[in-house]
Amino acid sequence: MSSDDTNQNKPVIGVLALQGCVTPHQPHIEAAGGIYKAVKTAAQTSAVDGLILPGGESTTMLKLIDRFGLEDIIREVCQTRPVWGICAGAILMAEIVTNPSQKSFACIPMEIIRNGYGSQIDSKYEQIQNYPVSFIRAPIIECILDGHEDDVKIPAMIDDKAVWVEYKDFMATTFHPELTLDFPSPMHQSFIGKVVARIGEKTLAA
């Protein structure tokens, strides 16, 4: 079997690469059975099976998405494919953003507070599902919006706050599993599982 044949059944996981923590995802995605693609343009973004909105600065990312005209394609991907937002990316996916308030793709019915834990000095490590992860100037998921308590899953909480949520085919984590050097992280496995399941549904429907 040539490597092209091997790759044919693998899901393509795009990481939005306008700014932020992009390349550390590659070994995780590959170890979890996906193909890693850093995406910067609308054409590249539309070619993925699942999209990661990575860590970085959410204000910068929003401005770049706007300036490079990527808002429509990201909205479309959100409607049709699994999307995972990490830290800044989680902020982009929350329905309500505070400290300060800013616009978002509003995929997940939750309220999120930017830099909720404070400045860099308050950054820390935590264990989630026996896997060490980093919280870096992390946002806090303040609450799940009323009426959605049952349809938003919370795989992990710290100090009574959700730090990992799943809703439909969306996933958000306020921490960074990609900075851990044991590949793949359980979060990457879980996300790629969603992408594979979604591709399976599409194939069946076709």
Partner 1 sequence: MSAANTINIKTGLAEMLKGGVIMDVVTAEQAKVAEDAGAVAVMALERVPSDIRKDGGVARMSPPDLIQEIIDVSSIPVMAKCRIGHFAEAQLLQALNVDYIDESEVLTPADEEHHIAKNDFKVPFVCGATNLAEALRRIGEGAALIRTKGEPGTGNVVEAVRHLRQMNKEIRAVVHSDETELMAMAKVMGAPYELLKLVREHGRLPVPNFAAGGIATPADAALCMQLGAESVFVGSGIFKSDNPEKFAKAIVKATAHFDDPAIVLEATKELEGVAMRGTEISEIEEPMLMANRGW
Q: Which residue stretch of 114-122, 146-154, 156-164, 192-200 sits at the interface with partner 1 (rule: CB under 8 A)?
A: 114-122
Q: In the structure encoding, which two tokens stand for residue 110, read together?
A: 């939750």
Considering just the CA atoms, what is the radius of gyration of the chain in Å?
A: 16
Amino acid at 160: D
| Secondary structure (DSSP) of 38-88 | EE-SHHHHHT-SEEEE-SS-HHHHHHHHHHTT-HHHHHHHHHHS-EEEETH
Contact flag: residue 192 with partner 1 (CB under 8 A): no
Dihedral sign of CA atoms 118, 123, 127, 128 in order: positive
Whether 25 is a known active-site residue: answer no
Contact flag: residue 94 with partner 1 (CB under 8 A): no
Whether 126 is a known active-site residue: answer no
Q: What is the DSSP letter of 176?
A: B
Number of residues that bind partner 1 (CB under 8 A): 40
Q: Which helix H or strand E contains 37, and what residues bound it?
A: strand 35-39
Contact flag: residue 193 with partner 1 (CB under 8 A): no
Contact flag: residue 134 with partner 1 (CB under 8 A): yes
Contact flag: residue 133 with partner 1 (CB under 8 A): yes
The residue within the footprint of partner 1, chosen from 40, 148, 161, 168 (CB under 8 A), is 40
Q: Which residues lie near partner 1 (CB under 8 A)?
A: 17-22, 24, 40, 55-57, 59-60, 63-64, 67-68, 87-88, 99-100, 114-115, 118-121, 123-125, 132-134, 136-137, 176, 179-182
| Residues annotated catalytic, as ranges | 87, 176, 178
